[in-house]
Amino acid sequence: MNILVATSEAAPFAKTGGLADVCGALPVALAQRGHQVAVILPAYRQTRHCGVPLHPLNLRFDIPIGNRIVSGRLLESRLPDSNVPVYLVEHHDYFDRQELYREGGDDYRDNCERFVFFSRAVLEAIRLLKWPVDVLHVNDWQTGLIPAYLKIEYCHTRGYEQIASLFTIHNMAYQGLFWHWDMLVTGLDWKYFNYRQLEFYGKLNLLKTGIVFADTITTVSPRYAQEIQTPEQGCGLESVLAGRAADLHGVLNGVDYREWDPAHDKRLPVQYGPANWAHGKAACKMALQREMGLPARPEVPLLGLVGRLADQKGLDLVEQVLARWVGPEDVQWVILGTGEPKYHELFAQLSRNHGHKVAAKLSFNNDLAHRIEAGCDVFVMPSRYEPCGLNQMYSLRYGAVPVVRATGGLADTIIDATPENLAAGVANGFVFQDYHDGALEHALRRACNAYRTQPKVWDRLVTTGMKQDVSWAKSAKRYEELYMRAIETRRTRGCAPA
Residue 105 pLDDT: 79
pLDDT in tens, 38-54: 999 999 999 999 999 99
Helix extents (H) in 2-91: 18-32
Same fold, 2-254+473-493 and 277-469: yes
pLDDT at residue 430 is higher than 90: yes
pLDDT in tens, 446-492: 999 999 999 999 999 999 999 999 999 999 999 999 999 999 999 99
CB 94 within 8 A of CB 48: no
pLDDT band at 498 (very low <50, low <70, confident <90, very high): low
% of residues, the chain, pLDDT over 70: 100
Q: Domain spans of the chain?
A: 2-254+473-493, 277-469
pLDDT at residue 396 is higher than 70: yes
3-state secondary structure of 354: coil
Residue 417 pLDDT: 98
Distance CA 119, CA 482 (A): 22
Instruction: Mark 297-333 as b/e (b = at least 16 C-beta within 10 Å).
Output: eeebbbbbbbbbbbbbbbbbbbbebbeebeeebebbb
Tell me which CATH code domain 277-469 carries.
3.40.50.2000
> What integer best gives the mean pLDDT of the chain?
96
Rounded alpha-carbon distances, angstroms, from residue 375 to 2, 26, 214, 278, 459: 42, 28, 43, 11, 16
Q: Mean pLDDT throughout 241-268?
A: 95
pLDDT in tens, 165-214: 999 999 999 999 999 999 999 999 999 999 999 999 999 999 999 999 99
Q: Mean pLDDT throughout 421-444?
A: 97
185 CB-side CA count, 13 A = 18
Bridge partners, 205 (sequence order): 177
Q: Mean pLDDT throughout 135-149?
A: 98
Residue 75 pLDDT: 98
% of residues, the chain, pLDDT over 90: 93
pLDDT at residue 497 is higher than 80: no
pLDDT in tens, 123-137: 999 999 999 999 999
CATH number for domain 2-254+473-493, candidates 3.40.50.2000, 3.40.50.300, 3.30.70.260, 3.30.390.30 = 3.40.50.2000
